[in-house]
Amino acid sequence: MYALIERLYPICRSITGPGVVETLEIIRQEIPVEIHRIASGTEIFDWTVPQEWSIRDAYVKDEKGNRVIDFKASNLHVVNYSRPIHATLQLKALRPHLHTDPAHPAWIPYRTSYYKEDWGFCLSQNALEAMSEGSYEVLIDSTLSDGELLWGECFIPGTTTDEIVISTHICHPSLANDNLSGIAVCVELAKLLMATQRRYSVRMLFIPGTIGSIAWLSMNRERLSRIRHGLVAVNLGDPGMLHYKKSRHETAEIDRVVEHVLKAAGQAHSIMAFSPYGYDERQFSSPGINLPFGCLSRTPYGRFAEYHTSGDNLDFVKPEALAHSLKTYGSVLDTLDRNRAFVNLSPMCEPQLGKRGLYDAVGGKSDTKTRQLALLWVLNYSDGKHDLLDIAVKSGLAFDLIADAADLLLGHDLLASAQRD
């Protein structure tokens, strides 16, 4: 995962353009990804697909010809989506187009101008203070023209057409945690999912932030009824603890499962209420769509100092954090896949388990008594109203023990699947 981040890090990405194409092609070398396109000017709900942006070079040169701001040194130096310009300006006239982060004077901030035609440069506060009065040559060699917006989908079919959707964004330039960590974890997660047979189909979306999810939802309205659970994967490589932002539903199965997985892991974590601000969960959870979509990240957006600055670099992302994030996502998907409601087919008093060999089936293990207890909990609460996660929470037993007990009871015709709402 870290090696993939290293490979993607130098690319200048935006919501459209060559950087997105290159990024999707690299992802497609790792996992099967279908690339979708939508033309500039297409109406998508209340939005319009913007023109495509590409950039070749940009700089600010002093009177001696030195590049005091150089796009080739860092692609954060240019305000993303800047229109082209070539002019000579006095520093006083140039200053309104220069953006810094005074709180972190050594870092270059990340700024965008997607939906308002403008131009600008980003630089460290230290570099700005070193600029003397005088004239500067300003060049942004960019193009804004009718083109396409792209996104990628990796679809992993399950035994049912019910879907879990995991969305990550691909629109940021050289920012390692906010953008690339989500891509890397999703790529590795897809590899793990493709190696096993599962009940749910899983759809991985690699999309530009905001406009990408709006485009996908607009173009896939007929599929929305199949989506049972959704997660936005972002900020998964920093050393902070895991945070889960609940879906708009707040008590949806995805909310209950993530909270249970985080709690069961026994590590520090945070559960946050839904708010209509953040990443693409706000589009999937908009009132007209209203899908159960949460956001599972490490440190949330805006809560780490390096956020949207050059401080979010390869040193900030930790391989052990990526591994922990991947394990957590895997546990969440495994729990969703095994969580079901059942009906006890022998509900008139406790069925005789010994004569069916069920006690022997769980015997000989260090936790034999616990496994026997799990059988009784599943039988007692399999009334079609409680799912296995409910039973795990009520019993205080590990979810996997409860799910294993249900599998065993199913095999002995003591349970049947219940119709879920």
* Known binding positions: 172, 178, 308
Q: Mention every residue, 6+ apart, whose C-beta is less than 8 A from residue 83.
A: 117, 118, 119, 140, 142, 144
d(CA 146, CA 49): 10
- Amino acid at position 159, single letter: T
- Amino acid at position 24, single letter: L
- Output the six-digit token pair for 339: 């969580």
Please give the radius of gyration of the chain, using alpha carbons only, rounded to the nearest integer: 26
d(CA 299, CA 314): 16
- Amino acid at position 384, single letter: G
**Contact between residue 310 and residue 246 where contact means Cβ atoms under 8 Å apart:** no
**Contact between residue 35 and residue 26 where contact means Cβ atoms under 8 Å apart:** no
Sign, CA torsion 373/374/379/382: positive
Q: Which of 317, 309, 318 is nearest to 74 (CA)?
A: 309
Q: Which residues are known binding-site members for Zn(2+)? A: 172, 178, 308
